[in-house]
Amino acid sequence: MGLTILVIGSGGREHVISQKLIQSPKVETVFCAKGNDGMKEDGIKLVNISEDDHLGLINFAKKNQVDWTFVGPEVPLLNGIVDDFTRAGLLAFGPMKAAALIEGSKDFAKNIMNKYKIPTADHQTFFDIDQAKAYVLKQGAPIVIKADGLAAGKGVVVAETVEEANNALKDMLENNKFGTSGTKVVIEEFLVGEEFSLLAFVRNQEVYPMVIAQDHKRAYDNDLGPNTGGMGAYAPVPQIPNDIVKEAIETILKPTASGMMAEGRAFTGILYAGLIATEEGPKVIEFNARFGDPETQVVLQRLESDFAQVIDDLLKGEQPEIKWKQDGYSVGVVVAAKGYPEAYQKGSLIPVFSTVDKEHIYYAGVTEEKGRLVSDGGRVYLVEASAKTLKEAQQAVYAVLNSVDTQGTFFRKDIGSKGMNEK
Ligand code: AMP
Ligand code: GLY
């Protein structure tokens, strides 16, 4: 009998995680709670239990003889879902609550980085608006203002002027725009350089880095418009040289994993470092305690080893074998509802895609109505393609998108272009 696995989450990230698991010859069944209707096309079984119902999920896992559970999003991790599963005698992959705090509090993450000399932007934490404003005035613009807690990628303002910075401080500290996430702010030096995401499988002090990716946070082409959860990604990132990645592994990932151990907050799960390659070397702009979305939809395409086997080994104390493809690129373009990341419409018809081997569709904000998928969220789906060159992969994605009716939605036309400009 093969493995029975439960994946928690419902976006494109969880779609690709579930799909890679189900493709493994070791795996019999993949359940996803709650998942989305688009995942059913891949044989993933949806479970109608919400990600905050830990007890419901534990009971489901026991009743269905789930071998282990993979937790996709940050919210259940920060709510201690892995602690709860572990207490119930179940295996779950992801950091415990105490370790997930590296994503849950920017202030906590900054303290870890200071203590263990991990390169990051200079910064200071404030509760008081007058003190914060005085600091901004002293530092000058551009400057970065971050709400302390989780804000779904939207709690960061890169202020071009002191006035813009002051407005952001007012929103966070006075108007509670981000609720309790914004009662404390971190003000940070603006870093100049190319951005990239370096993720790793981590088990205590062991760090197994992945192929790097680049996300596109702004809504529109040429990095214009508001910040979003991510509008597309590609991997690897050719303009970031290997020695920078090696340096980031040595100066950032490894000391972070061992620092968390030393703090009594040993981290097991996916550690995501959002980095900027500055002239002084790579520096951290954020840590996440989970896979990135949309990075995962491209990074997992680069994995040559069996994903289910890797997680199984990590959970069971075995030595994992993790091999990455040496050649080729993957590009993923997010299709979002018109209006996203502000108010957007729901109910647009999702096109029916033809089954072409090298292309993949990963669904996120969709639901089934009268037998057809319609949009039901901000980020609706992602189209991914892999090819020998970045250009071919990009062309393949846009060929798919240009061949269908994308009514009610929009997508960026330049995902992957940065990787070609500088070559
Ligand atoms: P975050 O939510 O922390 O990933 O921040 C959102 C975006 O703001 C990042 O993807 C960066 O493009 C930008 N950003 C955050 N911190 C900095 C920084 N210190 N310097 C320059 N850009 C930053
Ligand atoms: N793509 C950025 C994130 O998942 O946080």
Choose which residue among 285, 288, 290, 293 to substitute to test ligand 1 binding: the one with the highest number of ligand atoms within 8 A of its C-beta. 285
Copy the structure tokens of residue 74.
Answer: 């940050």
250 secondary structure, DSSP code: I
Distance CA 145, CA 164 (A): 10
Q: Are 112 and 260 in contact (CB under 8 A)?
A: yes
Distance CA 172, CA 176 (A): 5
Task: Tell me the percentage of the chain whose pLDDT exceeds 90.
Answer: 87
Distance CA 21, CA 19 (A): 5
In Å, the largest CA–CA distance within the chain is: 65
Please tell me the predicted confidence (pLDDT) of residue 183.
77
Q: Are 195 and 216 in contact (CB under 8 A)?
A: no
Backbone angles phi, psi at 193, to 5 degrees: 150, 175
Smallest-distance ligand from the CA of 195: 1
Please tell me the predicted confidence (pLDDT) of residue 182.
57
Please tell me the predicted confidence (pLDDT) of residue 176.
76
Q: Distance from the CA of 226 to the center of ligand 2, in angstroms?
A: 15
Pocket of ligand 2 (CB under 6 A): 153, 215, 230, 288, 292-293, 295
Q: List the chain residues with pLDDT less than 70.
A: 149-154, 178-182, 355-359, 422-423
pTM for the structure as a whole: 0.93
Which is the closest atom of ligand 1 to the Cα of 191?
Answer: 20
Rg (CA), the chain: 21
> ∠ CA(135), CA(136), CA(137), 5° rounding?
90
Please tell me the predicted confidence (pLDDT) of residue 154.
61
Which is the closest atom of ligand 1 to the Cα of 121?
Answer: 19
Q: Distance from the CA of 169 to the center of ligand 1, in angstroms?
A: 16
Helix ranges (DSSP H) in 140-197:
162-169
SS3 66: coil
CA atoms 295, 367, 82, 105: torsion sign: positive
CA atoms 39, 324, 295, 53: torsion sign: positive
Q: Are 225 and 218 in contact (CB under 8 A)?
A: yes
User: Mind listing the domains of the chain with CATH numbers?
Assistant: 3-94 (3.40.50.20), 122-189 (3.30.1490.20), 194-315 (3.30.470.20), 329-421 (3.90.600.10)
Which is the closest atom of ligand 1 to the Cα of 190?
Answer: 20
Distance CA 222, CA 44 (A): 36
Smallest-distance ligand from the CA of 151: 1
User: How many Cβ atoms from other residues are within 10 Å of residue 392's Cβ?
Assistant: 16
Identify the residue whose C-alpha is closest to ligand 1 atom 3: 286
Q: Distance from the CA of 310 to the center of ligand 1, in angstroms?
A: 31
Copy the structure tokens of residue 296.
Answer: 């995962």
